[in-house]
Structure 1
Amino acid sequence: MTNPYEPGTVQPRNSNKTLVKGFITGLLILVMLIPTLFVQSLIVERKERQKEVVEEVSSKWAGAQVVSGPYIVVPYVDPLAYSEAQKTGRRNIILLPDDLNLTGDLLPEKRKRSIYNVMLYHSNFNEKGAFKVKLPADIDVKNLLLKDARICVGIKDFKGIEEKMSIAFNGSQYELLPGLPTALIDSRGLSAPVDLTNVDFAKPMPFEIDVRLKGSEMIRFMPLSANSKFALQSSWPNPSFTGNVVPSDYTVSGKGFNATWKFNSANLPFPTVITDSLPDKQDISFGVSLVQPADQYAKTERSIKYAILIIGLSFGLFFIIELLQDKPLHPLQYILVGLALIIFYTLLLSISEFISFNYAYLIAAIATIFLIGMYAQSHFRNRKTSGILTTGLTVLYGFIFALISLEDTALIVGSIALFIILALVMFVTRKINWYNPTFKPSTLNPL
């Protein structure tokens, strides 16, 4: 028997055909990745459309809210910098509470606009606490302009205020109106003039305020107090805690969540009496986002990243079977199969906008596998061959779905699975004579 590997041996013409066909198949795999770029652009377009809808609804309802305060702004005259002629030397000091306790409820409300869902909420919370002012040594209480003192609350979007806001402070009730005396802490908010005397600084000044506020998707708070505790609860079962501070205690279940944040004077990056500038206040803000668990666009984007894997393995499976069956596929037939694999993603994207992603993936996968399986049956005229292709595609789509569902372990699971797939391919093709890969249909038994 002639050894095709011996020097000087003329290789069969089939070896050249196999090499050329393998090269063409590899080239077609790369070519079929081009349509995936257009599908990715379509995903981005649909995601942007959803974002526009969310912003439109939120602009009419109320946006994501940021709440801070209460705090007191007191003008004072700096005698070293005061000029009667130029009316300079007047500054503000900001007094923060010594204690703050906030308890609140978030009531989620899902609004449907066209085919999109927008997460909105109503919030009810109560704030209690007290001011215990200790002025710095360089500020004389006599230089404070107490008649111009104002108590302030920061709220990002006024459209979210659902009822008149008033605050009980130091034994009196004050109605809060839009406008702040300084933008040092908040750019937007409510304030009210308060009656302060020198005597008030020698004792605790209690306060209490009830707030009913609506917003969309997220609410954040500023812990502007020496000691503070924030407790939130909601019936929303999929919260995402935002900011640089995680809750000190929380529970999440199918019935909702409870979360508690605690702060003390060591956590506050500035004193309770602020006379100069405030550090980046966003560094201490925290809150919760009402996340919609089925973000179909993000999952579709993740799935299309594995397009080269699906197309490559599918084409490879067809290539091996056509060698074993000696029924070659025309490059145009490979393109048709590739287009079917690409249309899977458009089916997944469009169906997932109406039903959950998992069901959309199942429907799109079944439709694609059935189409390719029937096409293989019509070409190879062999149920066993069609069954092998259908089983292979089913396992492949199931594997991709598992990777999409995983988060932290997706890389290691995918790497191990690809190693196993490669080992199986090497095992199945171990007896193929690549120099003369001609078999009768009856010999299709790769194991």
Structure 2
Amino acid sequence: MKKLKSNIYFKIGIIIFLILVLMIPTSMVENLIHEREQVQSSAIDEVSSKWGKGQTISGPFISIPFDKYVNKYNKKDSVNEIIKIKQWAHFLPEKLNISGIIQPEKRNRGIYEVVVYESKLKIEGNFDNIDFKNLDIDKKDVHFDKATLNIGINDLKGIEKQVSIKWNNQNISFNSGTSTKEIISSGINAVVPIANDSMQTYLFSTEIDLKGSQYLYFTPVGKTTDVRIKSNWTTPSFTGTYLPDDRTVTDDGFDSKWNILHLNRNYPQEWVGSKYNIDISTFGTDLLLPVDNYKKSYRVARYAILFLALTFLTFFFVEIMRKVFIHPIQYLLVGMAIIVFYVLLLSFSEHITFNFAYIIASILTLSLVSLYTMAILKSKQIGFLIFGILFIMYSFIFTIIQLEDYALLIGSSGMFIILCIVMYYSRKIDWYNINLDEKESLSN
């Protein structure tokens, strides 16, 4: 048993085994991070469901029903019958201009912050040449008196007051719901007068006061679509199929402009039925909170095996060079201290900034491991050595987390330097004739 305790290869095997065992609580920490992130998402969803969810404005577009006659074989009488079915033709505007102001604010649900907003949107434009000839539809089969103007809105409880549209100098109130689900499933509609004359031009304008949370998106349904959004929010994320042609982000907020042509999207100006999906062309703004503690905590946790390996490697070289014996239980306790570091980091980062949380958790962990090392090895010099090595390692990981775009470059360079240091200090060790001297052991 004594020979086994001082056998260097047995010690290496024990260290590798402990690292593998400690990966189990590490995976539990990663699951905890994911769980806390889900709790945050639930808090955001709860507030959003009461205030108004993320909003997408789809439209406006005109939907007009018409009768279509098709042949149907009657098996009972063995004859062909002509039956009439109702279908919808959809027309998009020639020009669409949207301008708006977003006024966001932060709401709290427990320890979590949620971004909600109130917006004032002005939508105007025109429809030209609503012509059924391109769709191969006879005008006599068209129900012009049932034409509706539809605007898609994701969450209707975000509408703050009655919405009406100015349609060729005529004010018309909107109704809840859409006239057809072929393009959008949620929104508002207004019955608008459409003449039988295909050369008629229709001007429209409306204003919508809309509440929502997290984001505000639009669909470029106009042959030419111009969107301009202003806000006092300082951390926007412009996302979707199209980025702004012009954007300005300052400490006072942002101002963004989009100009999109019908040639930039993959659906036409008119069609029948539900053959096209306009949602694939949405674009807009996410109102991001500058908080990514869960993402960063998860990234730090992915380096757990590196933390454990380098820490145990440091203790292993201390054993070899100082001829001391460190018990596997003591390795295990140091490893558990490293695992607790991630829990401290996660819990602190939910209440303070991630960088400050990392500093506090690192200092606590480094102090604990260093003081423990001094106690078991009865050497302040080794304790300070361990503190310095761990300080460099934790600083290295912190740098990788901050420089996300250069993480691979910095990480690979750092690993190469560490390998060089290990090879340098181990170059004169005779691995075939090395044993830990139990007589000089300073611990059990």
- Residue number in structure 1 paired with 2:154: 156
Select 2:143's aligned residue among 133, 142, 145.
Answer: 145
One-letter amino acid of the structure 1 residue matched with residue 110 of structure 2 = S
- Residue number in structure 1 paired with 2:363: 366
- Residue number in structure 2 paired with 1:166: 164
- Residue number in structure 2 paired with 1:222: 219
SS at match of 2:262: coil
> 1:44-59 counterparts in 2 under 5 A?
44-59=34-49
SS at match of 1:431: coil
1:226-285 Cα distance to aligned partner (Å, 9 max, x none) = 111111222222222232222222233333322222211212322222224332322211
Deviation at 1:436, TM superposition (A): 5.0
Identity percentage of aligned residues: 38
SS at match of 1:396: helix
> 1:185-224 counterparts in 2 under 5 A?
185-199=183-197, 201-224=198-221
Structure 2 unaligned runs (5+)?
73-80, 438-444
Q: Give the Cα–Cα distance (whole angstroms) in 1 for the partners of residues 6 and 111 of structure 2.
A: 54
> 1:359-438 counterparts in 2 under 5 A?
359-437=356-434
Q: Give the Cα–Cα distance (whole angstroms) in 2 for the partners of residues 351 and 270 of structure 1.
A: 49
- 8 Å Cα contact 1:15/1:435 also seen in 2: no
SS at match of 2:221: coil
- Residue number in structure 1 paired with 2:91: 95
Change (3 A) 1:15 1:28: closer
- 8 Å Cα contact 2:183/2:277 also seen in 1: no
One-letter amino acid of the structure 1 residue matched with residue 428 of structure 2 = K
Q: Give the Cα–Cα distance (whole angstroms) in 1 for the partners of residues 330 and 15 of structure 2.
A: 11
Deviation at 1:342, TM superposition (A): 0.5
TM-score (norm 1): 0.89
Q: Give the Cα–Cα distance (whole angstroms) in 2 for the partners of residues 185 and 262 of structure 1.
A: 23
- Residue number in structure 1 paired with 2:442: none
> Would you say 1:26 and 2:26 are equivalent positions?
no
- The root-mean-square deviation of aligned C-alpha atoms, in Å, is 2.3
Deviation at 1:136, TM superposition (A): 4.1
Q: Give the Cα–Cα distance (whole angstroms) in 2 for the partners of residues 298 and 128 of structure 1.
A: 41
Q: Give the Cα–Cα distance (whole angstroms) in 1 for the partners of residues 147 and 192 of structure 2.
A: 6
Deviation at 1:142, TM superposition (A): 4.1
Deviation at 1:47, TM superposition (A): 1.5
Q: Give the Cα–Cα distance (whole angstroms) in 2 for the partners of residues 53 and 15 of structure 1.
A: 53
Select 1:70's aligned residue among 52, 60, 70.
Answer: 60
Change (3 A) 1:15 1:342: closer
Deviation at 1:415, TM superposition (A): 0.9
Q: Give the Cα–Cα distance (whole angstroms) in 1 for the partners of residues 382 and 267 of structure 2.
A: 73
> Would you say 1:114 and 2:110 are equivalent positions?
yes
Q: Give the Cα–Cα distance (whole angstroms) in 1 for the partners of residues 431 and 367 of structure 2.
A: 31
- Residue number in structure 1 paired with 2:182: 184
- Residue number in structure 2 paired with 1:352: 349
